[in-house]
A and B are shown apart, each in its own frame.
Chain A
C-alpha cells in the first residue's frame, strides 16, 4: 500500500499536497484499489467554490460511484482535464498524473484537521 510521506490525508481517502496557499488533491492508492477500474470522473470547473467536507466531484468505477470531498475551503484553480479521456490514470498513478484539482485555500488552519501518513495508515489498517 503506497502512502507517500510529505502528503496529508482525509478520512474519505483523499490526499492533499500543500504548496503555500495552493493545494493539490487526488484520491489515495488504497481508494483506487477499492474502487477498481475507474471509468469516469466528474470534476469542477476553475473558479468553483470549495467547502471543507463538501463534495466537489464524482468518481465512477464499473459498479460503484463515490463523491470526492474537499479537504479545504477555497476556490478551484485548475482541474485535471486529462482524466476525462483517460480516467484509468488514477488507477495507474494516483499520486502523480492522477491528481484531480488544484485549489487556493481560504483558511490554512483547516490543514490541522487532516491526517498524517501514519494516521492514515492506521485508519485503513
Chain B
C-alpha cells in the first residue's frame, strides 16, 4: 500500500490552485542538470512479512551474545528492568520541549532530579539537563572555559579519551581556541610537561579520572597547576568510578563532564549516549544547555521551570557561550531512574564489584609471563594488557573462536600501541567469564 496520504486528484487540485502544471514545475529554481531524472535505485517494495524475513536474515548474520570486556567510555553494566519499563511510559517518551512550564511539570521534575543526582555524584554546585554525549560535553566545557577566562588555549592530556579529543578538535575548529595535546608519561598525565606548557593564555586543562587507560590520575596536582595560572581544571569522569573516588569538587575541579551511558543506558552498538555537565556556582551564567529549577508559584505551590534562559542562544544570539539549548531527555530520564533505584550504596557496590573483578582478572592474566601490564600504577575497572601478537589480531580471533570481545585495540588511537589491549570489567562479568577470558588469552 502507499503511505502517501494525498491522492492524484488531491495533487492535481493543489497544482491547479497555485497555477502549476506538474510537480516538476515546483523545482524549476533548481538547475536542470542537478535534478534527479530517474527514480532512486531501490529494490521493489516488500510486504511487511517479506520485509521482516529480510531484516531478520540480515540481523542473524551478526555474531550476537559476545561476552564484552570492551569499555573505553561505554560499559556493559546491568540495567534493572524497571529502567526500561518506567522510561518507556508515553509521558516520558516525548519530543516536546519543556518551555511551557504549565504543561511540562513531569519532564521538568525529571530533569531537576537528574541534575540533583549529577551534583551529588560530582560534588559540584550545579549541573545542566544533560548533553548529547561525554565528548560534546567536553568540547562545550572547553568553550565555557575560554569564554569565562577570556583566554584562548586549552591543554588536554592525551590520557583523555581519544574520542573526546577528536570531537573537541572538530567542535572547536572555527572557534579561535588553540588546542594543545600533551603526551602521556607511563600511562598518566605528564605533569612536568603540563607545567612547562601552561601559561597566561591557558583557559583550562582537561584531565580524565580514571583516564582512558583506566588509571588513577593525580588530578589534584593538575588542579593546583591550573589554578596557579588562573586556568580551570576540567575533569572528565566515569560516573561509576566516581562512586568510590574522591569527588571532583574535592579535587579542585571547576567543570566536570562525562559520559552517562554506564548509568542504565544500553550499549546499542555505541549510541545514543548521554553527556553530563556540572560546574561551580560562579560559572552558572555561562553554563551551556537547559537548566531546570524548583520554584514556588504565587500561591506557594512548588513547581519546576527552565531557568536562566538568557544564557541560551534563542535570547542571547551571538553572545551565548553555546548554540545548544536541547538535552538528551530520554537518556537522562533512564539515568535518573537508574540512579534512584541504585542509590548511593548500590552505585558504590557496582563500582566495587567492577573494580574487584578487574583486579582479580589482572592477577590471572598476568600470572604467566605471556602477558604483562602495559603501565604500572593504580587502576579501577579497566587496564591495558601488553599483547604478544597485535591486539587487533587477538581481538579478531577471540571473537571468532570464543565469542569473547576481549577489549579495545589501542593501536586504533595511539601510534606505537598496536600491542596494547584495553580490557574493562563490570559487575556483570561472572567468574566463569573471567576464567574464560584468561584461558582465551593464554591459548593465543
Using a CB–CB cutoff of 8 Å, the interface residues on chain A facing chain B are 40, 42, 58, 60-61, 63-65
In chain B, residues 319-374, which have Cβ atoms closer than 8 Å to a Cβ of chain A? 319
Query: Within the complex, which residue of A42, A58, A63 is in contact with B309, where a contact is CB–CB below 8 Å?
Result: A63
Task: Count how many pairs of residues, one from A and one from B, have CB atoms less than 8 Å apart in the complex.
Answer: 15
Q: Is B315 an interface residue (CB 8 A)?
A: yes
Against A, the Cβ 8 Å flags (1 = close, 0 = not) of B307-319 are 0011000011001
Chain A's closest residue to B315 (CB) is A65
- In angstroms, Cα B285 to Cα A58, docked, is 12
Provide the main secondary structure of the chain B interface: helix
- In angstroms, Cα B309 to Cα A40, docked, is 12
In the complex, 8 of the A-B residue pairs with CB atoms within 8 angstroms, ordered by the A residue number, are A42-B285, A60-B310, A63-B309, A63-B310, A63-B315, A64-B310, A64-B315, A65-B310
CB-CB < 8 A to B315: which residues of A? 63-65
**What 10 additional pairs, Cβ within 8 angstroms, besides A58-B319, A65-B310?**
A40-B285, A40-B310, A42-B285, A60-B310, A61-B310, A63-B309, A64-B310, A64-B315, A65-B315, A65-B316
Provide the main secondary structure of the chain A interface: strand
In chain B, residues 127-178, which have Cβ atoms closer than 8 Å to a Cβ of chain A? none
- In angstroms, Cα B77 to Cα A41, docked, is 46
- In angstroms, Cα B309 to Cα A60, docked, is 10
CB-CB < 8 A to A61: which residues of B? 310
Most buried by B among A40, A64, A65: A65
Most buried by B among A42, A60, A61, A64: A60
- In angstroms, Cα B315 to Cα A40, docked, is 15
Most buried by A among B285, B310, B315, B319: B310
CB-CB < 8 A to B285: which residues of A? 40, 42
CB-CB < 8 A to B310: which residues of A? 40, 60-61, 63-65
- In angstroms, Cα B285 to Cα A40, docked, is 9
CB-CB < 8 A to A42: which residues of B? 285
CB-CB < 8 A to B309: which residues of A? 63
CB-CB < 8 A to B319: which residues of A? 58, 65
- In angstroms, Cα B316 to Cα A42, docked, is 14
A105 shortest CB reach to chain B, Å: 25
Chain A's closest residue to B316 (CB) is A65
Identify the 5 closest CB pairs spanning chains A and B, nearest first. Answer: A65-B310, A60-B310, A65-B316, A65-B315, A64-B315
